[in-house]
Chain A
Amino acid sequence: MREDMTSVQIKNVTKNYRLFKNERNRFLSFFDKNIEYKEKKALSNVSLKINKGELVALFGKNGAGKSTLLKMITGVVYPSEGIVRINGRVGALLELTAGFDPELTGRENIYFRGDVFGMREEEIKFLEDKIIDFAEIGEYIDQPVRTYSSGMKARLGFAININIEPDILIVDETLSVGDRAFREKCRNAITQKIYDGITFIFVTHSLSDAKRFCKRGVVMKNGCIVFDGSVQDAADFYNKNILKQNK
């Protein structure tokens, strides 16, 4: 029972990126262990447990390791050390392009994504209209995605990810795109999902957004979690200790 309550379990996770001087060195490193490289620690010994239905805001400056952490939860990036355990389907909005095939049309991309998620044909058909309705991109839905503006891509990406019925929704600052009406629509959709009991992980620099959706706040710095508590305290901590520090 207790096991089922956990949505995300991250245990002592470290992620190193190996940076080589050039491609030649990277190639040689497969044969020769002594090739020099710089090691960039994106995450060091991070542990985080998120329960089902928890609403978590993630704060941190650029390069603090937020994106790496989110990518790990999405299952795209693997840890160098430690364990990541995920329970449920993850809908992630990490970047605007959100894994679209630029040559395919918006509609085809909906099917493509559905396929990748391993959904059945009828399931996708059922969601298709809902997604198109939500994205509000009109006849562009049958145009190749490469012709989309970044706002349109974000709309479609958001529409897909919120409608595939994820158990865990990850949003990385995408709420700041689109016009005000659409942003409000996204916020309402998220509120609805939260009401339905989704696990929500949110990266933002807007403290008001964070406070609106989230109860728990996590602050990251240099690849470590430096604060974990209520969203209000986390926001204060972030303001006081991290933003001010560099001034």
Chain B
Amino acid sequence: MKTLKKITIEHIRYRKTILKLAKADLIKTYKGTVLGWPWVLVRPIMTLGVYYFAFSIGLKVSSPVNDYSFFLWLIAGVVPWFYMRDILTAGASSIRKYKFLVTKIKYPISTIPTFVCVSNLIVNCILIILVMIVFILLGHSPDIYWIQIPFYILVMFVIFSIWSLFSGIVATVSNDFMQLVKSSVIIMFWMSGVMYDVNSINSEIIRNIMLINPITIIINGFRDAFIYKEWIWDSPNEFINLCVIFIIMLFLAVFCYKKLEHEIVDIL
């Protein structure tokens, strides 16, 4: 509890620094390119273009969901997935990446994963706005359910910040964990209902197990807002699962931080 309070205080005190470092993190990745940071948008947009070609032109998937084309259904979930995919690995490698902040200067370690998450979030917010524009251009004007989108963005950000803190610390002490995370990304992609609707799975047991996964719940949330027009309280089970996962992860992150905060510098 004390550790949690400490982490919160560090975040409040360094809030401006976190934003600045997030900006620097974003700029840094594409340093030395002529186009600069907009490159960060190029890859996801290209992926979306390929999806469009593959599903609408190639495979001709034409089963509209709730009046929306499959492509729209897909991007409503795939774009948040891009964020979660990136954070799965970027979060875990955050502290290693910013090693010099740990070993060379006095800086609160807990905020390193956070600014990495913020920098990725900026990109994803732009992408989600693009998704909204695509929806509008294709004749689906915004409605009241869209106000859930900022909420889900926030939920996604908070959960994955905690994941980053936990995984960042564990990955520092164990390279094996880092490798495990890297190789589990593809599993997460197929097991989290990015490409299909988990709720349409026939077996109730499998469905319920899959709805423990926070990635699935968040993707469903975005689709509820964009496609299915449902409120968050229409699926209370998912909401409760999310809260439970949140508390467990928070506990794990705080526990690891407490145990390893002072030791990380000796290991790096």
Contact = CB atoms under 8 A, between A and B. Distances in A.
Contacts of B105: 74, 76, 92, 99, 113, 116
A108 B173 contact: no
A123 interface: no
Contact of A101 (B16, B28, B32, B259): B28
Contacts of A182: none
B119 to A, nearest CB: 14
A103 B31 CA distance: 8
B104 A27 contact: no
A115 B28 contact: no
Interface residues of B, number: 28
B43 interface: no
B266 interface: yes
Given A77-B265, A112-B24, A99 B100 contact: yes
Interface residues of A, number: 30
Contacts of A53: none
Interface in B102-130: 102-107
- Identify which of B13, B28, B102, B262 gathers the most chain A CB atoms within 10 Å of its CB: B28
Nearest to B260: A30
Contacts of A23: 174-175
Contacts of B175: 23
A19 to B, nearest CB: 10
Interface of A: 17-18, 23, 26-27, 30, 74-78, 90, 92, 94-95, 97-101, 103-104, 108, 111-113, 115-116, 118, 144
27 contacts: A23-B175, A26-B173, A27-B174, A30-B173, A30-B259, A75-B106, A76-B104, A77-B265, A77-B266, A92-B105, A95-B104, A97-B100, A99-B100, A99-B104, A103-B28, A103-B31, A104-B24, A108-B24, A113-B105, A115-B20, A115-B21, A115-B24, A116-B17, A116-B101, A118-B14, A144-B31, A144-B32
